[in-house]
Each structure stands twice: as C-alpha cells, then as structure tokens.
Amino acid sequence: MKGKKIVSSLIAVLMLTGLLSACSSNKESDSNTSPDASGTPATETGGVDISKEAKLVYYLWGSEGVANKAILAEINKKLKADLNATIEVKYIDWPDTATKYPLLFASGEEFDMSHASPGAPVSYFTLASQGALVDITDMLDKVAPKLKAEIPESIWQNTKYKGKIFGVPSLYSEFTPAGYAYRSDLLKKYGMDKITTLDEMTKYMDNVVANESFPPLNGKAEDAQNMFRMLVDTTDMWLDAPGISLNELNLVTKSPEDYKTVMHPAFTQEFEDWAVKMREWADKGYWEKDILSSSLGGKDNFRAANSAGYMTHAQDWIGQYGADLKSQPTSDPYFFTFAEANKKIKRKLGVDNSTVISTSSANPERSLMVIEKFMTDESYYNLLQYGIEGKQYVIEDGVKKNPPGFNEKTDGGGFSAWSLRNDKFVIPSDTENPIRNTLFADWDKVAINDPYSGFSFDPANVTTEIASISNVNSQLGIQLMLGKTSKSPKEAVAEYRDQLKKAGVDKVIAEVEKQLTEFVPAK
C-alpha cells in the first residue's frame, strides 16, 4: 500500500497531537441504473462495470448514534439497487482523533473513504503528498460527471496538490471563527448591550463574579487553547501559520501579506502582556481554580447553569443554540467573535472539509460513485445528514424538527459526514440560531482567505523538535494561558521562551519558512 510511505511522517504527528484536544422531500434516486423486476441491480452505470458487489468501508469521526444502524440499512438498500454497493461505517471517537486518525493511514489497514482536512491531525495535503490518497482527477469525468459539474471549478482548484485532485470538497458555506458564547439575559441585567471588545468582555465577567453564584467560564484544560486563540485573533493581523499543531500554542504570521515570515507569539510583548492578563483573570475568579484537573467541559457547565458562558467556534454556537435554550430558556446566548473587530475572519474553503479515497481501497471508482450520490441526490443526502424522515426528523413549514414522541436515547442518530454537505439540500433546523444566514452573508463580504490554503508542511526534518515543543506546550504553555504557573507570569514567560529555544523552535520556524519559499496560496 502506498500509504505505508507516510509512517515516518505520521510518527511525528502522533507525538505532537492530542495534547489540548480540537463540529425535505424523499425524491427517488436519479441514478442511471435501477433494479429489474426481480430486484436484481443493474450491472453497469456510466460505463463502469458494477456487476461485482462492492463492500466499502467509510471512516467517520464521532461516536455511533443509537439509530445509526437502522439509518445505514436504508442507505444500503438504495446503494445496493443503484450501484451494487454497500458501506460499513467505522467510527473514530472524538477523544481519539489525534491518535487513531493518523494510524488509520499509517497502519496499512484496507479501507475506502474517510474525512480529510488541511487542519486534521494529518493534513489533507500531507496525505496527498505521501501517496495515501487516490488521484481522482481523471476518474471524475468517467464515473462522477454530475459531481464534477456540481462543484465550481474555483473550489476544485483549492483541492489540488501539484495540479491533481485528491479529495471531494464540501459545498457547505461555513465560518468557524473562535469566540465566547454568553448569556444575553445577564448582559441586559448588567445594563450592557453586546460584547464586541475584550474590555466589554472583562466588564461582563466582572459583573458575573460580583453578582452570580457561578463563574463567567467553567471549562477544563482545553480552554487554554481557547485563550491562546483569543490572543491570536484579537492581536493586529496575526494569523495561524503551519509547523506546530493548531491544537496547541502554534506559530503565526503577522499578516496575510507576509505569510512567508512566521514566528512564535511567545517571543512578543503581546504574549507577555497576555500571560499577565490571564493571571489576573484567574485571580479574579473568571474560571474555577481546579480548571486544569476538571473533567466537565464549558458547554456542559453552561447548560447546567454553572457558568455564564463558554468558549467555542461560531458554527458550534449556531448549531447548538436550540440545545442551549432548552437547558437555559432565558439565556438566549450571544457570541463574541474574537477576530471580527480586526476584519480577519477566514473563509472556509471546500477543501477544509473533504472526502477522500484511500490508496488501500479495492474499489476507488465505486467509492467515488457513492460520494457522488451523497452530494448530488437529495434522497441520499437526507438519509445521511438527517436520518429517516418520521423517525429522526419531520419538516414543518420548511424547518426540520424532531418528530412527536422522539426520544434521543432510542431514536437519536446521525453521522458526522459534514464533508458531504451541500448548501442546496440544507434544511434549516429548529435547533439552529436563525441568525446564521444573515451573519454568514455579512461575514462573506469581508472574509479573507487563509494564505496557507494548499500548503503542506512536511515535518520529517524537525520531528524531534516538534515533539519537544509539544511537551513544553503541554506542561508550561497551558499553565500560562490559564494563569496557573507557580512563578509570576513574566518569570514563567521567560522560562517558556527558554524551553522553546532548547526544544528547537527556531529550527522549526526555519524549516517552515524554507518550505514556504516557492509556495503560492490557492486562489
């Protein structure tokens, strides 16, 4: 298997990830084939021989919903009739993505499809460069012409590695800037309007500490990365750069225009000032004293009325809005988007959520045909994304809701197949914040593209250094971001800088800049 070539590179990834982990009508299929009177599937479609049944394995992130097997059975009935294929879904649970996702490609396991992204524990572009993914450039015309036509050429361009296409990009409009979801009922209680700056956020949190029995934030150690994200997003035109996992304290560039120059924020005055601020916030009681050992996340505590807000990204806040309101009916959560004031909300490109075919697949053509069904046929789309109509959902006045008598423990189900979403089939949900469309439309007018879209960093030359930096981040980095260092913040920052130097951060930065020399961002 070609994918075995990536083992050495993935060892480095495994060492550095996981430290701070971290989202209609039932129309008949328009397939070119259909079963005959006896129920036997056709043997050819689009010039492809499908006489031999294909049993495909599809890896998804997340856990298996209680109704997933029933939903998948309905999907497989259709696939068997249309393509003489069935799929088995295997799951990589959320806490395991940092370790098991890289192993999926490094182990030599035979499977057919999976999710991929430039921001995954192993980058889409790294997988493409190491021969782990099937080149589908020519295959699209042969077996999935409808899919090829469905996706605009500009989006296909963003998926290319060295001029070739190695994945099918999502057609879902999405923005995922980080931010703080907070209770608007408390905001009004304190005589405030909205939070649009750090000063206003501080004022809100001071009021919570003074007037409520719970803190402004009540999360766990993973919030250290959220605090670092706040620093990056609110500082000038800093943008995330490659080289160190985005699940920890990563490298940045000072601006989209200067993308070939990268730095570690730790060596700036802004970082030192932020560390001082984080100690002040911790001392004020903005989060619990045991945050480093806490096992309950911020969202769970928010819904249990044990906090006044939680850190997340915009799409999660929008999608979880109904659940938040159900738990706290008066809360009507608002969202402070850190990057908005500096006008550096990044537009998510299709490649950010892609479906790929493994070079270990025995049926790459059939796999691509299945992907085409999920993205271009509404009946397939609804089953995969929403479940069985009448059991997992109903549609009332164009809005998707739970059916009467729905019980999550017995009826709940769904697949984290966000890479296969298509805007034209999306049904608004009663659990989403209705602000989504207008908010995204506003952001789309001012959003910027990630300057590193299409860049694949090869860590092979700095494997040891990256692992050492990850160790420094997991020990001292998260303490700095949560105000929990044993030394004063300035002393701790000095120690952090020294440890980063000894770990080889300068060598990593030099390697990133070297690899960026000939790189030109995707347009």
Distance CA 90, CA 110 (A): 12
Residue for token digits 């998260």? 478
Confidence of residue 162 (pLDDT cuts 50, 70, 90): confident
Question: Residue 17 has what pLDDT?
Answer: 41
Tens-place pLDDT, residues 405-417? 999 899 999 999 9
Residue 302 has pLDDT above 90, yes or no: yes
Domains of the chain from N-terminus onward: 48-173+350-431 (3.40.190.10), 178-347+450-517 (3.40.190.10)
Contacts of 125 (CB under 8 A, 6+ apart): 118, 161, 454, 455, 456
Question: Residue 245 has what pLDDT?
Answer: 87
Q: How far does Cα 11 stand from its chain's mean position?
A: 22
Tokens representing 181? 């979801």
H or E stretch covering 295: none
Residue 483 has pLDDT above 60, yes or no: yes
Q: What is the DSSP letter of 181?
A: E
Average pLDDT over residues 169-174: 90
Residue 247 has pLDDT above 50, yes or no: yes
Contacts of 129 (CB under 8 A, 6+ apart): 161, 162, 456, 458
CA nearest neighbour of 62 among 500, 390, 415, 369:
415
CA nearest neighbour of 146 among 326, 317, 368:
368
In degrees rounded to 5, what are phi and psi of residue 109?
A: -60, 140
Question: Residue 44 has what pLDDT?
Answer: 63
Task: Please check whether residue 465 is in contact with residue 243, taking contact to mean a CB–CB distance below 8 angstroms.
Answer: no
Tokens representing 56? 């495909």
> Mean pLDDT of all residues in the chain?
90
Choose between 154 and 328: higher pLDDT: 328
Contacts of 267 (CB under 8 A, 6+ apart): 497
Contacts of 314 (CB under 8 A, 6+ apart): 175, 176, 177, 178, 179, 335, 337, 439
Distance CA 260, CA 250 (A): 15
Cα torsion angle, 153, 154, 155, 161, sign: positive
Sort strands 54-61 and 113-116 into parallel, antiparallel or unpaired: parallel
Distance CA 371, CA 373 (A): 5
Average pLDDT over residues 127-141: 95
Question: Residue 454 has what pLDDT?
Answer: 75
Question: Residue 41 has what pLDDT?
Answer: 53
What's the pTM value of the predicted model, to 2 decimals? Answer: 0.77
Question: Residue 222 has what pLDDT?
Answer: 92
